Amino acid sequence: MTVSLHGLAVARGVAIGRAVLVVSSRVDVAHYFIQASEVEAEIGRLRTARDAVAQELQRLQASVAQMKREDAPHELAALLEVHQMLLQDDALTEGVKHWISERLYNAEWALTTQLEIVARQFDEMEDDYLRERKADLEQVVERLLRQMKGTAAVLAPPPPPRRARTDSDEGEAGEGDFDVPLVLVAHDLSPADMLQFKKSVFAGFVTDVGGKTSHTAIVARSMDIPAVVGARSASQLVRQDDWIIIDGEAGVVIVDPSPIILAEYGFKQRQGELERERLWRLRHKPAVTLDGEAVELLANIEMPEDSTAAVKAGAVGVGLFRSEFLFMGREARSLTRLPDEDEQYEAYRRAVEGMRGMPVTIRTIDIGADKPLDGKASKQEYLNPALGLRAIRWSLSEPAMFLVQLRAILRAAAHGPVHLLIPMLAHAREIRQTLALIEHAREELRAQGVPQGEVKLGAMIEIPAAAMMLRVFLKHFDFLSIGTNDLIQYTLAIDRADEAVSHLYDPCHPAVLRLVADTIAECRRQGKGVSVCGEMAGDVQFTRLLLGLGLRSFSMHPSQILAVKQEVLRADTGKLAPWAQQVLDSDEPSELLGH
C-alpha cells in the first residue's frame, strides 16, 4: 500500500530506489560497505562472535545448574536455553549472511538490519509468549555486537558499494556498477555517519529527525542527492528493500508507490536532470551581474577531496573548509587518536593544492553541539549542547590541540593562499587568546625552521553578540564570514537540529536580516572582506536579497554554485539595493521575498 510521509526538504531532486534501513541499536554500530573480496572474512567475524556467545551462554547455563534452587529460578535456565536457540536460529544467521554477501554491509550493520526484520515478525505474532521473545532476540544480538566490538578491521575509507545484487545475478559486479538505486532510511545519522556514506553511492536519504540546517542535512546537501529530514516515523514505516520515492524539493517520501505515481516522479526526475545539464553550461561563465558587479562564488567543503567538486563547479576558492570533519567518527572506526599535526597538514595541503592557486579558507575545529567528536554523544550528556563547549570555546579549552591545528594550517599555507577562519567568537577576550595562540604557533614554527605561509585572518559572525560588536572584530581581523546557520539559531533561540521547532527557524526574521545587513554594511564601509557561508548563501531564494544588501562573496556547497550563479547573472544590483532596504524595513520580510 502506498504511504506518503512529510518531512523537511533538504536537498533538491527526486530519488527513486530501494530502501536501505540503518537501524539504531543500543550498542554503537559502525555502518560501512566492505569489498566483495572481504565477504568471507566478514562472515567469519560473525561466526567467531556467535561461537564466543554460545560458549558464554554455556558457561552461564553451567553456573546456573550449580546454583541453589532459590538463587537460580527455573526461569533463568529456560531463558538461557531460549537465547541459545535464538543464537543458532537460521532466520537470524542466514539473513545476516544475506546482507553481508548481497549488499556488502559490514557484519554489525547486517546484524542490526536482520534484527529489525525478525523483530517485526515477532511484533506481528498473535501469541503473547512468542511476541515477548523479541526482547530476548535483542539481547542476543547485543551480546553478538559486543563480541564483535574491537574485531572490526581498521577501516580504510569505505569503497563505494557495488551494485545491489539480485538473486539471479552471477559473479561479481564491477565497482560503481549499479542497477538498483539505493536510498538510505534512518532514524538519525550523525555527521560522522554521513561522512562514511558520502563515499558510498546512495541515490537519496531520509531521516526521522533533524532540522534543515543540522550538520547531517548539511553533509547530505554536499552529497548532492535528494534528501528529506524530520520525516518522523519513516524508519518505522519503511521496510528493508521497500521501493521509495524521495522528493527532496517538497520534503515528501512515498513508500511503495503505485505505477502511476512512479511514472509521474520518473518524469519529474528527468526534468531535474535536464535542468542540471542546462546549468552545467554556466560553469565557465564569470559570475557578473547585469550591471557589471563581479560576485565571488566559493565552495564549502568537508574533506580535502571535495576540492575536486569545487573546481568542477567553477568555484573561485573555498570559503569554508569545515575542518572538524577530519576529526569526527574516528572512534567508530576503531581509531581513538585525533589526527596529529602531520596528518592535518597533509589534509590541508591536499585541499590547497586541489584548489590550484585559488584561496582556501580553513575554519578551525568546530566540534560540539550536533557534531560530537565520536559521533554518538547524546544530548542528555550536556544540558544545552548548542550553548556549550563548542567551536573556539572547545579549542581554547584544549590549547595544546589547538596549537597543533594552527601549526598544521600555517604549514599548509606555504603551498598556496590560505585564510584562517575562527568559529563562534563572541568575547574580546576570546579574540585576544586566539590571536595569541596563532602568534605562538607562528613563533614555534619559525624557531624550528619549519616553512609556513602568510594567512589572512577571519572570524565567523554566528552569535548576535558578535554581530553587535563588529568594531572589535574588525580591529583584529582581515575579513568576516557570516555563519547564518548559527546566527539564526542563536538570534531566535531555535535549536537548528530540532525538527520540533523547525517551523520557527526563520532566515527571514527581521532581526536576523538586520544583523546580516549590518555586518555586510560595516565591512564594506571599512573596506574589509565579508562573505556569507551559511546555508542561506546557497539558497537561490536569498541570492537577490543578499546582493541587494551589498554582499559580493557567497560560499556554499559546490552543488549549489551553478544555480546561484544563474541568479547572479540575471540580477541588477542597482535595482536590488532599494528593494533590499524595503525588505529590511518590513515587519514581514518573507511576504516581500515571496516565500
The verdict on whether 508 is a catalytic residue reads: no
CA-to-CA dists, residue 514 to 242, 305, 561, angstroms: 46, 36, 25
Q: Should residue 235 be labelled a site residue for ligand PEP when binding is judged by CB under 6 A?
A: no
Residue from 494, 467, 482 nearest 556 by CA: 482
Applying CB under 6 A, which of residues 116, 486, 506, 539 lies at the interface with ligand PEP?
486
Greatest pairwise CA separation for the chain in angstroms: 91
Burial class (CB in 10 A: 0-12, 13-18, 19+), 299: buried
Q: Which of 83, 215, 419, 557 is catalytic?
A: 215
The verdict on whether 215 is a catalytic residue reads: yes
Site string for ligand PEP, 213-232 (x = CB under 6 A): -----x--------------
Q: Should residue 499 be labelled a site residue for ligand PEP when binding is judged by CB under 6 A?
A: no
Q: Between residues 92 and 365, which has the closer beta carbon with respect to ligand PEP?
A: 365
Q: Calculate the dihedral angle through the C-alpha atoms of 476, 318, 394, 486, rounding to the nearest 10 degrees.
A: 90
**Is 363 annotated as belonging to a binding site?**
yes
Q: Tell me the number of residues near ligand PEP by CB under 6 A.
A: 11
Count of positions (residues) in the chain:
595
Q: What are the residues facing 554 on neighbouring strands?
A: 297, 532
Query: What phi and psi values does residue 353 have, to the nearest 5 degrees?
Result: -70, -35
Q: Between residues 182 and 386, which has the closer beta carbon with respect to ligand PEP?
A: 386
Give the separation between CA 140 and CA 147, rounded to whole angstroms. 11
Q: Should residue 534 be labelled a site residue for ligand PEP when binding is judged by CB under 6 A?
A: yes
3-state secondary structure of 118: helix
The site partner of 534 among ligand PEP, Mg ion, none (C-beta below 5 to 8 Å per kind) is: ligand PEP
Applying CB under 5 A, which of residues 368, 483, 507, 548 lies at the interface with Mg ion?
483
3-state secondary structure of 55: helix
Site for ligand PEP in 372-411 (CB under 6 A): none
Question: At a CB cut-off of 8 Å and minimum separation 6, what does 333 contact?
Answer: 30, 154, 155
Residue, CB closest to Mg ion: 486
Q: Should residue 319 be labelled a site residue for ligand PEP when binding is judged by CB under 6 A?
A: no
Q: Should residue 533 be labelled a site residue for ligand PEP when binding is judged by CB under 6 A?
A: yes
Q: Between residues 247 and 366, which has the closer beta carbon with respect to ligand PEP?
A: 366
Q: What are the residues facing 322 on neighbouring strands?
A: 363
454: its cell numbers: 602568510
Smallest gap from residue 213 Cβ to ligand PEP (A): 7
Q: Which of 31, 83, 508, 533 is catalytic?
A: 533
**Which window, 12-20, 425-433, 459-467, 509-517, contacts Mg ion (CB under 5 A)?**
459-467
Smallest gap from residue 557 Cβ to ligand PEP (A): 11
Give the separation between CA 286 and CA 289, rounded to whole angstroms. 9
Q: Between residues 143 and 322, which has the closer beta carbon with respect to ligand PEP?
A: 322
Place of cell 539473513: 95
Residues 483/460, Cβ–Cβ less than 8 Å: yes
Residue from 255, 412, 249, 266 nearest 339 by CA: 412
Place of cell 597543533: 404
Applying CB under 5 A, which of residues 208, 430, 486, 495 lies at the interface with Mg ion?
486
CA-to-CA dists, residue 50 to 53, 108, 146, 218, angstroms: 5, 12, 11, 39
Smallest gap from residue 303 Cβ to ligand PEP (A): 14
Smallest gap from residue 294 Cβ to ligand PEP (A): 23
Applying CB under 6 A, which of residues 112, 484, 560, 573 lies at the interface with ligand PEP?
484
Q: Should residue 539 be labelled a site residue for ligand PEP when binding is judged by CB under 6 A?
A: no
DSSP 213: T
Smallest gap from residue 486 Cβ to Mg ion (A): 4
Give the separation between CA 95 and CA 101, rounded to whole angstroms. 10
**Is 486 annotated as belonging to a binding site?**
yes
Give the separation between CA 300 and CA 361, rounded to whole angstroms. 9
Q: Should residue 322 be labelled a site residue for ligand PEP when binding is judged by CB under 6 A?
A: yes
Site for ligand PEP in 11-70 (CB under 6 A): none
Q: Between residues 218 and 355, which has the closer beta carbon with respect to ligand PEP?
A: 218
Residues that bind Mg ion (CB under 5 A): 462, 483, 486
Active centre residues (catalytic): 215, 533
Residues that bind ligand PEP (CB under 6 A): 218, 320, 322, 366, 462, 483-486, 533-534
